[in-house]
Chains A and B, each alone.
Chain A
Amino acid sequence: MLREWISPQYFNKQNNLKKKFKASKPYQHLILKDFFNPTKLETLRKKLLTEPFERIDKDLFSFQNTKDLAASNNPAIQEFYKFFSSNEFRQLMQQITGEKLGSISDMHGHLFKQGDYLLFHDDQVEKRKIAYVINLSKAFTKKDGGRFMMYDVKRPQKPAITIVPQFNTFVCFKVSAHSLHAVEEVLSNKKRLTIGGWFYGN
Chain B
Amino acid sequence: MVINQLYKDIEVLTQAKEKYKQETPNNIRLQAVFQPAVFALLQKKLLQQKYTTKFHPYKYHYSTTKMPEIKQFLYGTYFKTIVANLLGIKKYSLNYEIQRFEAGSFTLLHDTEKEQTATDFIIDFSTTETSNGGYTKYLTEREELLQLNPCPNSLSFVERNKTVMYYVKYVTHATTRPLIFVRGEILLC
Whether A59 and B173, one on each chain, are in contact in the complex, defined by CB atoms closer than 8 angstroms, is no
> How would residues 108 to 145 of chain B score, 1 for a CB under 8 Å from any chain A CB and 0 otherwise?
11000000000000000000000010000100000000
Cβ of A119 within 8 Å of any chain B Cβ, yes or no, is: yes
A121 to B106, CA, bound (A): 14
- Contact of A180 (CB < 8 Å), options: B57, B109, B172: B57
Given that A120-B57, A151-B57, A156-B57 are known contacts, is A59 also in contact with B174, CB under 8 Å in the complex?
Answer: no
- Contact of B106 (CB < 8 Å), options: A114, A119, A145, A151: A119
- Contact of B167 (CB < 8 Å), options: A59, A156, A180, A187: A59
Contacting residues of chain A (48-62) with chain B, CB-CB under 8 angstroms? 59-60, 62
Contacting residues of chain B (78-130) with chain A, CB-CB under 8 angstroms? 104, 106-109
Cβ of A123 within 8 Å of any chain B Cβ, yes or no, is: no
> How would residues 113 to 145 of chain A score, 1 for a CB under 8 Å from any chain B CB and 0 otherwise?
011010111000000000000000000000001
Question: For the complex, would chain A's binding face be called helix, strand, loop or mixed by DSSP majority?
Answer: loop
Whether A115 and B106, one on each chain, are in contact in the complex, defined by CB atoms closer than 8 angstroms, is no
Contact count A vs B, C-beta below 8 Å: 36
Contacting residues of chain A (145-202) with chain B, CB-CB under 8 angstroms? 145, 151, 156-157, 180, 182, 185, 187
Cβ of B170 within 8 Å of any chain A Cβ, yes or no, is: yes
A52 to B108, CA, bound (A): 28
A60 to B172, CA, bound (A): 13
A8 to B170, CA, bound (A): 42
**B-side contacts of A145, CB under 8 Å:** 173
Q: Given known contacts A114-B174, A180-B57, what 4 new A-B pairs fall within 8 Å (CB)?
A: A119-B106, A120-B57, A151-B57, A156-B55
Give the A-binding residues of B (Cβ under 8 A): 55, 57-58, 104, 106-109, 132, 137, 167, 169-170, 172-174
Give the B-binding residues of A (Cβ under 8 A): 59-60, 62, 114-115, 117, 119-121, 145, 151, 156-157, 180, 182, 185, 187
